[in-house]
Amino acid sequence: MNDYIFSLEIAVRDYELDSEGIVNNANYLHYLEHTRHAFVMSRGYSFGAMSADGIVPVVNRLEVDYKSALRSGDVMLSRLWVERRGVRYLFHQDIYNKESGQLVVRAVVSIVALVDGQLSRGAELWEKLGLDDEQ
C-alpha cells in the first residue's frame, strides 16, 4: 500500500507553530497541498498549464489522521502515492519526521477534475501526469 511515487523534504518554520510549540494542525493541510503541487511539477506539468488546458483539479474530500507532532527545527518527509477510483483521484499522503522516522500525519485527499467547467472522468489529468492504472 505505501508504494510512494513521490517524496518531498520540508523544514518546519517557526511561524507555523502554535502556543504549545508544535506545528498547528491547519499547517499540515498546506504541507499536503504543497506536496501535491510539487508532485505535479515533478511530472513536467504545472497548474498554469492545467488552467490553459481547461483542467481544474478540485479537492472534494479530505481525511487526516494526526499521529504525532512536529516542532521547531524538525524536517519532514512528505510522501504520496495516487490511485484513480471512478471520477476521483485519491492522493494517499503520509508525513514522517525525517530524523525519527515517526509517522506524523496520514491523509487521503480526494480530487475531482473539471475539464472546461464540467466534471470529468479524469482521464485527461491522469494522462498529463503520465500515470498508469497501476499507480
Question: Where along the chain do its domains lie?
Answer: 6-128
Written as nine digits, the cell of 107 is 491523509
- What is the pTM for the complete model shown? 0.92
* pLDDT tens string 21-30: 999 999 999 9
For residue 108, which phi and psi values (nearest 5 degrees)?
-125, 120
Q: pLDDT class for 135, splitting at 50, 70, 90? A: very low
Q: Are 70 and 79 in contact (CB under 8 A)?
A: no
Helix or strand (DSSP H, E) at 71: none
d(CA 20, CA 124): 44
Written as nine digits, the cell of 97 is 519526521
What CATH number belongs to 6-128?
3.10.129.10
* pLDDT tens string 41-99: 999 999 899 999 999 999 999 999 999 999 999 999 999 999 999 999 999 999 999 99
